[in-house]
Amino acid sequence: WLKPHIEAQEADIPDLSLSTIFAFSLLSAKMAFSYSPQFFTNFPKYHAPHLKPGEELKDPIDDLKPKCMTSCSAWLSEYNECVARISIRTDGKGNCKGQYEELAQCQDHCIAHEIFGHLK
């Protein structure tokens, strides 16, 4: 009972020759956005910072961390007090993760405000 139905569907499909398929593929290729490797040549080239021979690039964060740690002295003392309390305990419980995160957040906040003044 299914065979006549399939034959009817196959009769509706046109017989495409190879030349018809090739012409259709050329037409669709012209309509589509073509990839061009020339697209990426227009971007500016990266140039490394100009350094004298033997000179290394210095990270400005290394200079800012101690300066910002002084402005976060309240969080630093709270973290140090927590470390002292935890080191006294003998049961191995507790940590100073919260105090450390507050200290790191304070330092990062300070560095974020200062860093762009040091960039060239």
| pLDDT of residue 5 exceeding 60 | no
pLDDT, position 92: 83
Q: In whole numbers, what is the pLDDT of the chain averaged over residues?
A: 76
Tell me the mean pLDDT in the region 82-103: 92
Of 70, 63, 71, the closest CA to residue 119 belongs to: 63
10: tokens are 């196959």
pLDDT digits (tens, 9 = 90+) for 8-54: 444 555 555 555 555 555 555 554 555 556 656 666 677 767 778 88
Residue 105 banded pLDDT, cuts 50, 70, 90: very high
Residue 55 banded pLDDT, cuts 50, 70, 90: confident
| pLDDT of residue 1 exceeding 90 | no
14: tokens are 């046109």
Burial tier of 57 (Cβ tally within 10 Å: 0-12, 13-18, 19+)? exposed
Neighbour tally for 98: CB within 10 Å: 11
One-character DSSP codes across the chain = --HHHHHHHHHHS----HHHHHHHHHHHHHHSPPP-GGGGGGSPPP------TT--PPPHHHHHHHHHHHHTHHHHHHHHHHHHHHHH-SS-----HHHHHHHHHHHHHHHHHHGGGT--
